[in-house]
Structure 1
């Protein structure tokens, strides 16, 4: 791959528009840009989570693959009509989710974000993931969006929830359970 950016600022967005990968320009507050930005934010939160884990952590390869998938999804959104996320990736994510979930007890309570810094960051990634999915749903009302990308985000939020549960339980830790107000 050659140089992608030789100059960081272009001034072409000073009028409140931005360029897409197909050469078209849209307003910076367009649903498409909100979707791209939220997927990028999700990728950043996952990067922050990864920075909190040891480099040899068993989850690192999964999280790295997810970061690449999210970058691909952002690219897909930046070029209307282009598809990069495949149904195969959803299947792989589901398989990983099933494997991770095997070691967890069934849920009997709601869980609050927390338990450890990595678990809390994983919950943060999950909540940003849900917002990204909502953004894609909103975008799809005006511009067609690859359904597989929306499905991927839906599975990813489930995956991040299960991973947060596991991270909270590491090293003898516990999940933070919600307690009904009248029982606190």
Structure 2
């Protein structure tokens, strides 16, 4: 299937049910990644492929073991601006909570077609990610509590992937989790 970035770019935001299903299934994938002792470090719409049976998280090219998550070079940002965590933007130690923050950014994109910290020059996006409150004004109210928690500035204040999976759990047996044009 197409990448989430392509699907939202051409077909518009996903309906709330689709975003909840996306959140639950991506959280389940991240839970497996984190249980394996890894951090993905680049959760973004271009790394989420949409399929009838659910999303696939791809591109583990910059994934690292949990004990190897400090940047080794100076002035190097690992990840995609607009979807990385404050700790990534500052070059600090990252862990599973960093992927959770990125998942929150992906869910905002899926639901609204926008980024929670806007667009523009990389430096401006990184500054807003670290210092500003996310713009969640277009987010459906049913998604707000979980997404807001994912986007907490402090890693320790964010939910675990398993908590997100449970919060967004949906019965998907009643048809596709994707809107028609995407499938």
What TM-score results when the alignment is normalised by the length of structure 1? 0.29
**Structure ranking higher on relative contact order (CA contacts 8 Å, 6+ apart):** 2
